[in-house]
Structure 1
Amino acid sequence: MAAVRLLLRSHLLIFFFLFLSFFPLSLSLSENEALLKLKKSLAHTGALDSWVPSSNPCQGPWNGLICFNGIVTGLRLGSMDLSGNIDVDALIDIRGLRTISLTNNSLSGPLPAFNRLGSLKGLYLTGNQFSGEIPSDYFSTLTSLKKVWLSKNKFTGQIPKSVTQLTHLMELHLDDNQFSGPIPSTMPPSLKSLGLSNNKLEGEIPETLAKFDAKAFEGNEGLCGKQLGKQCEQANKALSPPPSPPPPAEIEKSKINISKVMTMAGIAFLMIALLVFTSLASSRRREEEFNILGKENLDEVVEVQVSGSTRKGADSLKKANGSSRRGSQHGRASASDLVMINDEKGSFGLPDLMKAAAEVLGNGGLGSAYKAVMANGLAVVVKRMREINRLGRDSFDAQIRKIGRLRHENILTPLAYHYRKEEKLLVSEYVPKGSLLYVMHGNYFCYPFLFHLS
């Protein structure tokens, strides 16, 4: 007998705990139950006869619902002659609710506590009989709200200042009510559509609303501003409250933007400084390290200095008196002769090159290149080569003359050459922007491109 009592007691204990575990579920209503509770709080609900307990709201023929993926996301109950007091507690249990539209009904009383629905994005109550003042902080909890339509009701008092905190607000329509006092001086920058006409507003239209035309403000005798073509007196300006501070989110966003601008300015400054430094260093290198073929006495030494990482010093070419301007046509010139291959640009000799203004163009695999501008204005490129010293004079002469006979728009033929066993000089016409790099890529090192990357 004692064993039976013990077994019965344990079964009762298990049932009690199971009951407690399911009890919290009864505190949260299903969408079906929540909607039926809302319907019960309203009067004249003939248009909602399709709302019955035996069906699923998003699968059955429930009138006035917007569903997404089987979840109720909106109420579209406009023009249904509904009246009564809306049960906001029932709406709280509809977790996915984002829009409420009750336009053109007979609902009355103070504005219901829709601000308890923090995820609400659209509130449409136009054409009812709601009345009374809206608390100043009413919209402070509705941070996701994008569209507010309260037109054609009987609201009084000032426009709630918490409207200015709705950073996502795009549409605000409060026309055809009895709002009074000044318009809040700061409105969300996201605002695209505004209606404040036919109220009792007064004072100057804020500059933040300058983009809206007179239609948004007409019907307010106390309002003034350029939109209405009405000059504001100093007394009216005193009615406008001081600008309210921007929301914390906007302050933080402003700090981030300032930080980005300063970062980009710093990067731009560093790049400009680097370019200036590179340009100065290049100019100094050209001044200090380059003297094409020297400027010395023609009877002395012909000197060519090459800039480079190793700076190997100066090599000299001995120049003999009586050097020929045209050189040998058969490649049998003396060590100091300049042999002309092509005289289409005129004839010149080593003395002309020695007296020319020159600059370094660059260093390549075969040697260095220099630009020289002679007294007659002819600009040439002198290529100084050391890596092909195995060629004899006759072979070198034959190869250069073979190249000189070529004629093609993309081939630059040599004008002259100078042969020595240790090194060779090849002279050709200077072509601005004629490098292979420029032809393939153009002026790729440009400031807009760099700023775009930053």
Structure 2
Amino acid sequence: MPSKLHHLSKLPLHPLPPQHYSPLLKPFLTAKGAHAPPPVRVPPDYIIMGFDYKTSFFLVFLLVSLHFVASSGLTDSEILLKFKDSLSNASALSDWSDKTTPCTKNNETNWVGVICVDGILWGLQLENMGLAGKIDLETLQAFPDLKTLSIMNNNFDGVIPLDAFDGMLKLKKVYLAQNKFAGAIPSSLTALPKLLELRLEDNRFTGQLPDLTQNLQSFSVSNNALEGPIPAGLSKMDSSSFSGNKGLCGPPLKECNTTNSNSDSKKPPVLRIVIIAAVVGLLLGAIVAAFLFLLRRRQRQPSASIEAPPPPIPSNLKKKTGFKEENQSPSSSPDHSVGSKKGEAPKLSFVRDDRERFDLPDLLKASAEILGKRLLRVLLQSST
């Protein structure tokens, strides 16, 4: 089936009468001579997308006009004056005026602190001018060819947004040193592919260093409040570039101490300590209960000799020694007479050949001490 455009190509073309020209396009379409435009030919009474040719010409002109208005944007003077308005104590920039342009065609500049090359704004060097306030770096993003930004030794303060350098892909030198900037270092600095020099010393930056992987020729973040490990991309810098930041660690500074970070993992869990303490308490309670049980049991039994009586003396020994069994007194054999005295509680004793005698309380006490020492050793090992 033939398309609509196929039929359109076969339709006869007729010149558009001047009375149908749009008032906006009429001066151009009615020009004569060398500037005369070619005749405009459209199919007679043909409707394009539901509009006649008059409406179509108006829409095309409107779209072209909007394109030129949108692409024009602000001038360099307007952008810099907007940046100036965001500053405090900007008396040093008194020659920044809308009556002149910052750059001339002869590589000269009409405004102080502005660097121009071939009539294009190349950089800003606003050093030692006493400028203050919160710097509006978002306004400077309108300069795509900006290569140098230096605002050293002023009184700028506040936190720089993390995306403050987005789109400034041609920046090579950034000098923000000797101000009062606080907060984290903008992470958008890591996205500047041509960055060669970065000076951020003598500020109040906090947090960790961003992972700068560019081949930096000059770098310093000394005298801030940064902390954490130094990224690998900056480990080959001189140690003086990081001085004055007590929280920084890693090459080229001292190694990071991982003991503190792992101390929580080395501590025994609370549940484990509670279980060990409960077991120790039960064991000690069992020992005390056993001791009391034995003590009461001995108190209920009558007094009796614990050791077996000595064997009878053979008759032949009686004759040789002259001893008589019935005449033996308790004092004649002190080692064999171990009967308890009247009114004295029975006492269980243990005797070894190489040691002196010890009683049941001594045995229980020694067992408790040994058990307590072992449990204490287990607790100490689990806590270290």
In the superposition, the TM-score normalised over structure 1's length comes to 0.41
Larger radius of gyration: 2
Higher helix share: 2
Higher strand share: 1
